[in-house]
Amino acid sequence: MLSLFLASFLFFAIHAFISGTQARAVLVGRLGEGAYMAFFAAVSAGALFWVILSYRAAPHVELWADVKGLQHLSLTLMLIAIVLAMLAFSTPNPTAAGNEGALARQQAARGIIKVTRHPFLIGVSLWSISHILANGDLASLILFGGFLALSLVGPPQIDAKRAAKHPEDWARFAAQTSWLPFAAIIQGRTKVTLAEIGWGRMAAGVVLYFIVLIFLHEWVFGTVPHPFD
């Protein structure tokens, strides 16, 4: 279990304390952008591989028994997470890597980005919580808890980097959306409709959810993720 904890912490640390901080600028200055990216990718892949191996080897320490209610809640959270991921990858987002140029638009926030400017990371948060609830063991808490922590520290770090690099454009964009889902809408700073978010995108997310639930999860991970017989 110690190996899993160290591996999860390493994966969290290299993203939270290097990629999302001034340490990145220091390393890029010394190594160059290309060398830094190669180094970071190699360390990230190595840490993730260590996480996977440690998780598979970790003993099962039950924290709570299987509960039907938690399984149903987990499935609901996963539906939302997968739909958010589909929307995140199909909607232009100024917070995404390589898409900073979209900040220059007067209406940079569109569709799901009006609900939250970090739909993918919100989806990762829900995915992590879903798997913690469904598994109920210590190893899963460490593994998915690490991803949950990373998905929570990521948004403010991304926002800070964009704000520092594009202060005027970021201020206009941030006024149109929020990190916390629905906050900008509740505050009256923006409005959005389901049609603007995209019925087709949402439907594709639902279809993907059922494909993962019924076919892919058991095939890839060897476990049936639903409690239905």
User: CB–CB of 11/52 below 8 Å?
Assistant: no
Cα→Cα distances 50→12, 57, 76, Å: 13, 11, 30
Q: pLDDT in tens for each of the 229 residues of the chain? A: 889 999 999 999 988 888 767 777 787 777 787 887 888 889 999 999 999 999 999 998 988 887 777 888 899 999 999 999 999 999 999 888 777 777 878 788 899 999 999 999 999 999 999 999 988 899 999 999 999 999 999 999 889 888 888 889 899 999 999 999 999 999 999 999 999 999 999 999 999 998 988 887 777 666 766 665 5
CA dist., res. 15 & res. 12, Å (int) = 6
CA dist., res. 86 & res. 122, Å (int) = 12
Closest C-alpha to 141, from 128, 122, 159: 128
- Domain limits, the chain: 1-58, 62-221
Give φ, ψ of 56 to 5 degrees. -65, -30
Secondary structure in 3-state letters for 124-182 = HHHHHHHHHHHHCEHHHHHHHHHHHHHHHHHHHHHHHHHHHHCHHHHHHHHCCCCCCCC
User: CB–CB of 223/214 below 8 Å?
Assistant: no
User: pTM of the prediction?
Assistant: 0.89
- Token code pair at residue 193: 């409709």
